[in-house]
Amino acid sequence: MTAIFEIEGMSCGHCVMAVKKALSNLKVNVNEVVIGKAVVDFDVKDIKENEIKVAIEDAGYVVKEMKLS
């Protein structure tokens, strides 16, 4: 499954790296992280989308919206 997270509070390359680092600790495949957005692939048997959201928020950012595809 692919999830697109719209993220508030990201403003620079450091923010992008912080989100990438937070996601790297999870069982996800990070497709893209840019200012304001992260796109990840994951298997719902391994991790739930809410766990991904929590990891981003624990890194200091706010997930405005999440779209699954």
pLDDT tens series, the chain, 69 aa = 999 999 999 999 999 999 999 999 999 999 999 999 999 999 999 999 999 999 999 999 999 999 998
Any idea which fold 2-68 has?
Answer: Alpha-Beta Plaits (3.30.70)
Q: CA-CA distance, 67 to 2, in Å (whole number)?
A: 8
Per-residue pLDDT at 42: 97
Distances (CA, A) of 19 to 14, 28, 37: 9, 13, 10
Query: What is the helix (H) or strand (E) element at residue 23, kind and residue range?
Result: helix 13-24
How far from the centroid of its chain's Cα atoms is residue 65's Cα? 11
Domain boundaries, the chain: 2-68
